Structure 1
Amino acid sequence: MQVDLSGVTVRFGTLTAVDNVSLHFSPGEIHAVVGENGAGKSTVMNVLFGLIKPAVGTIAIDGAEMQWRNPQDAIARGLGMVHQHFMLQDSMSVLENIVLCSEPVSNLGFVKFNTARARLREIAETYGIGVNPEKRIADLSVTERQIVEILKVLYRDAALLILDEPTAVLTPQEAASLFQILRNFRASGKSIALITHKLDEVMEIADRVSVMRAGKLISTKPIGETSKAEIARGIIGGELPASLTRATQAVGEVVLAVDGLQARGVGKTVGPVSFDVRRGEIVGIAGISGNGQTQIIEALVGLRATTGGQASLLGHTLRGLDVGARRALGMSYIPADRQRVGLALEAKVSENAAIGREGTKAFRNWLFIKRAAMTSFARELIESYHIKVAGPNARTSSMSGGNKQKLIVGRELSRGTPLIIAENPTWGVDIGAIDFIHRELIRMRDAGHAILLVSTELDEVLALSDRILVLYENQIAGEFAAADADRLAIGELMTSRSKVVQVA
């Protein structure tokens, strides 16, 4: 199936989000679309999928012009989309999620789950995908949820699969498994539109790449006729940033002390884990998702009850303190899930920027919130962190994923607390923003702040960390000093506890 977008323009009020963009998706091809946050990538894909109506432009399938009233029309013509933030019902099973709104029904009106189960088994075997159809979504890892989203699309016979940042929170091993699924999909003659910020992945798996900047299409080339550096220059509109450097420095007192901490995980206890983070250092945690990182961080910030051990911040125990009290004690937190934990999506940008400060004198006068102060502060964050948004009074839900992430990072780092806990701080942001956020974390570290970094990007952990802890099966399998960090050794510990390493 040949799918063509021609001369598409999208406007939101006075803002032109997409300006005269044409993209073409051919059978048996992976076509990557890259660009900065707010460049218009997701907006174009939302037009293609019927979520947004363009002011100008056409969609054609095999040369016939289409008019979408809604995504159901696009789905009926063979398009499927996996969004950056999963659209799954946590309380339902895998099978129930996959067949939702496409259930096979008997003459008496009952859902024929055995028929659906058989069809799902056939699809899984065809594309080499494995997932238990009876498991609840709430009990699945991030990778398994991604697979369920893809199975939903395949169940509906999609010929064009649109993927928005599919590996944003996957480890390299998990991404490799996903890529094999995509290769099988391509080999069957189907098409893939891949939105991503990861240029290494573009070079590895894409057949063609289109670069967007400021709502315009800059270039479209076969992958063999371009390079990673050329794509990067097209994205940022200039030369690449200088390489990141991290100077060695003496560390100070212990800021975060964790001693035998345990927390309840999915079906088992996470921990016990013991470690500390000192002033002037970044301690990174590496590990394949599902090995306890999320539970440990949630226990530290107060989102999950502990079942043993203890943690202290600057000598003050965290036991019994809620999230607000821990933040008041000197903790900032960049969460992995910006949609559900990091932001109030229907609130204004200014209101989200002030979270954690709304009770301070700067933002409150007795019973009254100082709206002007909140607006002024949000404007400072927008400028400092290059956040693309209509303004402080815009709804946060109107922002792209990467710009939401920059808002959270700016809000948390600007608090200047002794401890910063950062989970996947560059999730879904473009190469320019990644460099900026990394430099901000290094700047905070150099200024004497203690930073606990959790990232599914091993390169990020290696680039930023002074010490690296490796998690495997809910426990610390090893520790590396930055100077001794070895990618292969870390990778081995991430997948096997056959050897435990402790490097001072």
Structure 2
Amino acid sequence: MRASLSGITVRFGALTAVDNVSLDIEPGEIHAIVGENGAGKTTLMNVLFGLVQPEAGAISLDGKAMRWASPQDAIRHGLGMVHQHFMLQESMTVLENIVLCAEPVTRFGFIDFAAARRRLAEVAEEHRISIALDRPVGRLSVGERQVVEVLKMLYREAEVLILDEPTSVLTPLEKDRLFATLRSFRSAGKAIVLITHKLDEVMELADRVSVMRGGRLVRSGRLSETSKEEIARGIIGGELPPARQRTARTPGEEVLSVCDLQVSGRGGAIGPLSLSVRAGEIVGIAGVSGNGQAELIQAVTGLMPLLSGEIMLCGRPIGHLDVEDRRRIGMSYIPEDRQRMGLALGATVSENANAGRDDRAAYTRGPFLNRAAMARFARQLIERYRIRVGGTSAFASTMSGGNKQKLVVGRELARDTPLVIAENPTWGVDIGAIDFIHGELMRKRDEGHAVLLVSTELDEVLALSDRILVMYSGALAGEVAGAEADRERIGSMMTSRAADALPEVA
């Protein structure tokens, strides 16, 4: 099926998100759409999928004009979309999620789950996909949840598949298997749209690439006719920044100390873990997702109770303190999940930018909030981090994923605390923003702050860390000095606990 967008324009208040864009999506191709955060990539595909109504423009499938009243219309005509933040009901099983709103029924009006299982068995066999249909989604790994989203599209017989940042939180093995699955879809004649910031993945997988900047389509063509450098220049509108160099320095006093820490994990107890972070150093934690990194960070930040052990921050024991008290002593936290933990999506950009700062004298007038001062601070973050949004009074829910991430990063680094915990800080942000955020973390380190970095991006850990700790199976597998670390050495200390999340595809 060939999908075409012609002259699409979308505005959100004063913000023009998509500006007169025309694009063709061909069957049997993987079409990558790249661009800065807020460039309009996801909004354009949301138009194609029926989630956003354009102010101008038209949609056609195989030359026939279409107009969607809702995403259900698009789904019925063969479109499917996997969003950056999954649209799954965690309390329901895999099978229930897949058939939701598309349930087969018996002649007596009951849901025919047996028929759904048979249909899914056919789809799974065709594409060599395997997953337990009766497991609750809330118990699945990120990679397994993505399998569910893909199966939802196939169950509805989608011919145009749209995937928004599909590898942001996948392990390397899960990513490889997803790519094999997408190649299988391409061989079956399906049209695939891949929205991504990862240019290495574009070069590995795509047949065609389109670059958007500031809501406009600035270039589009076959991948074989361009280069990674040309694509990058198109994204940022100029030359790439030079690679950052980490200067050696002697760290100061211990800021964070974790001693014999044990916490509950999905497969049993995590730990005992012992580590320290000193002033003026970045300690990176590498490891395949699911090996205890999340539980460690939740314990340090106060989001998970300890089974045993001790945590010290700035010389004070904090294991018994709640999140607010730990932040008050001197902890900033950039969480992995910006949707549920980093932001209040129903609040404004200004309110989110000032979260955790409301008790400061500069932001209050007696018992009331000083809204003007809050807006000034929010504007500073918007300008410094190049956050694309319709203003300080816009709701956080209207922002793209990458711009949400930049808002969280800017707010937390502005708190100027002795300890910064950064968990996948560049998830879903563009190449220019990645470089800026890396620079901000290194600036914090050079100013004498302690930084604990957890990232599933090994290159990020290698680029920033003075020391690297590797986690495997809930324990620390070893420590390597940043200057001595390389991909092979760190990679040999890592393994995947999610080997069956995505299947092999021939």
Length-normalised TM-score, structure 1:
0.97
Deviation at 1:114, TM superposition (A): 2.2
Looking at both structures, which has the greater relative contact order when contacts are Cα pairs under 8 Å and sequence separation is at least 6? 2
Aligned to 2:340: 340
Does structure 2 conserve the Cα–Cα contact (< 8 Å) formed by 1:255 and 1:315? yes
Aligned to 1:111: 111
Aligned to 1:6: 6
Instruction: State yes or no: 1:167 paired with 2:164.
Output: no
Most deviating of 76-85 and 361-370: 361-370
Distance 2:324 2:432 in 1: 32
Most deviating of 131-140 and 231-240: 131-140
Aligned to 1:56: 56
| Structure 1 residue runs of 4 or more that deviate by more than 4 Å after TM superposition | none
Aligned to 2:125: 125
List gaps (5 residues or longer) in structure 1. 498-504
Deviation at 1:489, TM superposition (A): 2.4
Does structure 2 conserve the Cα–Cα contact (< 8 Å) formed by 1:299 and 1:306? yes
Instruction: State yes or no: 1:351 paired with 2:361.
Output: no
Question: Which structure 2 residues correspond to residues 344-423 of structure 1 after superposition, within 5 A?
Answer: 344-423=344-423
Most deviating of 269-278 and 201-210: 269-278
Give the aligned length. Answer: 497
Aligned to 2:47: 47
* 1:61-117 C-alpha deviation (Å, 9 max, x unpaired): 111111111100100000000000111111111111111111111122222222222
Distance 2:280 2:177 in 1: 37
Distance 1:96 1:323 in 2: 36
Aligned to 2:449: 449
Aligned to 1:290: 290
Distance 2:308 2:108 in 1: 53
Distance 1:130 1:473 in 2: 24
Does structure 2 conserve the Cα–Cα contact (< 8 Å) formed by 1:171 and 1:457? no
Aligned residue for 2:243, secondary structure, equals coil
* 1:156-201 C-alpha deviation (Å, 9 max, x unpaired): 1100110111111123222111111111111111111110000000
Deviation at 1:496, TM superposition (A): 7.6
Paired amino acid for 1:292: G
Deviation at 1:486, TM superposition (A): 2.3
Does structure 1 conserve the Cα–Cα contact (< 8 Å) formed by 2:60 and 2:66? yes
Distance 2:8 2:140 in 1: 38
Does structure 1 conserve the Cα–Cα contact (< 8 Å) formed by 2:351 and 2:374? yes
Aligned to 2:458: 458
Aligned residue for 1:411, secondary structure, equals helix
Does structure 1 conserve the Cα–Cα contact (< 8 Å) formed by 2:331 and 2:420? yes
Paired amino acid for 1:263: V
Question: Which structure 2 residues correspond to residues 56-455 of structure 1 after superposition, within 5 A?
Answer: 56-455=56-455
Aligned residue for 1:210, secondary structure, equals strand
* 1:419-446 C-alpha deviation (Å, 9 max, x unpaired): 0000110011111000000000000001
Deviation at 1:152, TM superposition (A): 1.0
Distance 2:183 2:353 in 1: 41
Does structure 2 conserve the Cα–Cα contact (< 8 Å) formed by 1:142 and 1:289? no
Distance 1:100 1:327 in 2: 41
Paired amino acid for 1:137: V
Does structure 2 conserve the Cα–Cα contact (< 8 Å) formed by 1:42 and 1:164? yes
Does structure 2 conserve the Cα–Cα contact (< 8 Å) formed by 1:172 and 1:457? no
* 1:364-396 C-alpha deviation (Å, 9 max, x unpaired): 233211111111111111111111111111111
Aligned to 2:36: 36
* 1:5-27 C-alpha deviation (Å, 9 max, x unpaired): 11111122333211111111111
Aligned to 2:504: none
Most deviating of 385-394 and 228-237: 385-394
* 1:279-298 C-alpha deviation (Å, 9 max, x unpaired): 11111111111111111111
Does structure 1 conserve the Cα–Cα contact (< 8 Å) formed by 2:12 and 2:390? no
Aligned to 2:501: none
Does structure 2 conserve the Cα–Cα contact (< 8 Å) formed by 1:141 and 1:289? no
Length-normalised TM-score, structure 2:
0.96
Aligned residue for 2:192, secondary structure, equals strand
Does structure 1 conserve the Cα–Cα contact (< 8 Å) formed by 2:173 and 2:496? no
Does structure 2 conserve the Cα–Cα contact (< 8 Å) formed by 1:280 and 1:450? yes
Distance 1:395 1:324 in 2: 24
Distance 1:343 1:236 in 2: 26
Aligned residue for 1:495, secondary structure, equals coil
Aligned residue for 1:494, secondary structure, equals coil
Paired amino acid for 1:276: S
Distance 1:293 1:122 in 2: 37
Aligned to 1:501: none
Most deviating of 197-206 and 288-297: 288-297
Does structure 1 conserve the Cα–Cα contact (< 8 Å) formed by 2:256 and 2:313? yes
Distance 2:72 2:31 in 1: 23
* 1:429-473 C-alpha deviation (Å, 9 max, x unpaired): 111000000000000001111111111111111111111111111
Paired amino acid for 2:361: K
Aligned residue for 1:306, secondary structure, equals coil
Aligned residue for 1:118, secondary structure, equals helix
Does structure 1 conserve the Cα–Cα contact (< 8 Å) formed by 2:29 and 2:190? yes
Does structure 1 conserve the Cα–Cα contact (< 8 Å) formed by 2:171 and 2:496? no
Aligned to 1:500: none
* 1:2-59 C-alpha deviation (Å, 9 max, x unpaired): 1111111112233321111111111110000000011110110000000111111111
Distance 2:131 2:265 in 1: 20
Paired amino acid for 1:275: L
Distance 2:15 2:369 in 1: 30
Most deviating of 21-30 and 263-272: 263-272
Paired amino acid for 1:459: D
Does structure 1 conserve the Cα–Cα contact (< 8 Å) formed by 2:252 and 2:280? yes
Aligned to 2:503: none
Paired amino acid for 1:27: P
Paired amino acid for 2:156: R
Deviation at 1:121, TM superposition (A): 2.4
Does structure 1 conserve the Cα–Cα contact (< 8 Å) formed by 2:286 and 2:456? yes
Aligned to 2:25: 25
When the two chains are superposed, the root-mean-square deviation of aligned CA atoms in Å is 1.2
Deviation at 1:492, TM superposition (A): 2.1
Q: 1:113 to 1:169 in 2, by over 3 A?
A: same
Paired amino acid for 2:447: A
Distance 2:466 2:122 in 1: 48
Aligned residue for 2:493, secondary structure, equals helix
* 1:292-328 C-alpha deviation (Å, 9 max, x unpaired): 1111111111111111112110111112111100100
